[in-house]
Amino acid sequence: MSALERRCRTLLRAYPRWYRRQRGEEMLATLLEASRPGQRWPSARDARALITGGLRVRAAQDQRLTTGASLRLAAQLGVALSLLLLVANSLATATLVWVHVYAPYAHAGYLLASALLGLAAVVAAWFAPRPAVAALAAAAAAVTAYVSWAADRPMVILPVGLLVTLAVLVCLGDRMPRSWLWLAGGLFAASVLLPLTPLGPLFLYAPLLLVPWIILGAVTLWALVDARPAMAVAIYIACTYLVSPVLGSIGYRYGGGLTALVSWPTLVYAIIAAVVASGSLWRLRRQSVL
């Protein structure tokens, strides 16, 4: 085996195993045929094309979708991520109530039930038949409305709206690629652990604060390979940092009324969401060209 062949084989590892089994030898033959006599290294252009091509196959972005279809999938992921954050908060709150109240508490029980049903609906969006997703989303929405209605009525709109949107998108459109479960799982784990860290050693707290932002930043960079998760991040930021404060202000949660909305953090989040969304949309349009 020549040095060039060995290096080409290493680069081909960017593609998933099933793809290499199907196409690996054929691609290697083409790479070697296209090389100059005595060439020892693949060209920078070939290396870049193999790495991005491999990552695109891994991201399930090797087949063309229209911009609309890509947007629907991105919206599904954005809604799922926003729901997972709400579920994580409910799980953490239920846990904290149990830890500090030292007794079974009915409200915490309902909170836990709504969180688990919400989590089941999100996971079902990847795996379960469409009617099951709709049923789980409806059940989660009903329990969430029951739990939150007495405490903070406007805040019911966000989880219920997200659950309904998720069910509609799953019933209408394609399924999200399973590779996106890594992103959803990572963000969910960080969101569950973050509120619980005060129960553990404090040195865990500061690094964990950064984890969601590191994940979101990495996804935004991933837009070079696949812009759909980046668009989902824009939706997640809008739901979490813009819609949630608006609903909080309509209720009594933040006390500042609607004037509290015109603050620097809100403006910064609005700008970040708008920039990521417009950049992703530009990339999505390019992705849809054959």
Partner 1 sequence: MNTSKAEMREPTYFVLASLLDGPLHGYAIIQRAAELSGGRVRMATGTLYTALDRLTAEGYVRLVREEIVNGRARRSYGLTGSGTAALHAEAARMAAAAQLVTSRDVPSRRTAAIRKPRLA
- Show Cβ contacts of residue 138 under 8 Å, excluding neighbours closer than 6 positions: 163, 167
Burial of 228 (0-12, 13-18, 19+ CB in 10 A): buried
Is the CB of residue 97 less than 8 Å from the CB of residue 107? Answer: yes
C-alpha to C-alpha distance for 77 and 176, rounded to whole angstroms: 7
40 or 48, CB closer to partner 1?
48
12 or 111, CB closer to partner 1?
12
Residues 155-184, one symbol each (x = binds partner 1 by CB under 8 A, - = not), give -------------------x----------
C-alpha to C-alpha distance for 187 and 190, rounded to whole angstroms: 5
Q: How far is the CB of 222 from partner 1 (least distance, A)?
A: 17
Residue type, 244: S
DSSP-based three-state secondary structure for 179? helix
Q: Which of 3, 25, 41, 218 binds partner 1 (CB under 8 A)?
A: 25
- Any contact of residue 36 with partner 1 (CB under 8 A)? no
Is the CB of residue 253 less than 8 Å from the CB of residue 155? Answer: yes
Q: Which of 7, 9, 56, 107 binds partner 1 (CB under 8 A)?
A: 56
Instruction: Tell me which stretch binds partner 1 (CB under 8 A): 25-33, 91-99, 143-151, 264-272.
Output: 25-33
Q: Which of 43, 205, 210, 252 binds partner 1 (CB under 8 A)?
A: 43
Token pair for 4: 């060039």
CA atoms within 13 A on the CB side of 57: 16
- Any contact of residue 66 with partner 1 (CB under 8 A)? yes
- Any contact of residue 54 with partner 1 (CB under 8 A)? yes
Q: Which of 1, 18, 38, 45 binds partner 1 (CB under 8 A)?
A: 45
- Any contact of residue 52 with partner 1 (CB under 8 A)? yes
C-alpha to C-alpha distance for 219 and 151, rounded to whole angstroms: 35
C-alpha to C-alpha distance for 187 and 25, rounded to whole angstroms: 37
Is the CB of residue 118 less than 8 Å from the CB of residue 138? Answer: no
Token pair for 266: 């809100």
35 or 148, CB closer to partner 1?
35
- Any contact of residue 106 with partner 1 (CB under 8 A)? no
Q: How far is the CB of 30 from partner 1 (least distance, A)?
A: 4
- Any contact of residue 271 with partner 1 (CB under 8 A)? no
Is the CB of residue 88 less than 8 Å from the CB of residue 191? Answer: yes
- Any contact of residue 27 with partner 1 (CB under 8 A)? yes
List residues near partner 1 by CB under 8 A.
23, 25-31, 33-34, 43, 45-46, 48-54, 56-57, 62-66, 68-69, 174, 288-290
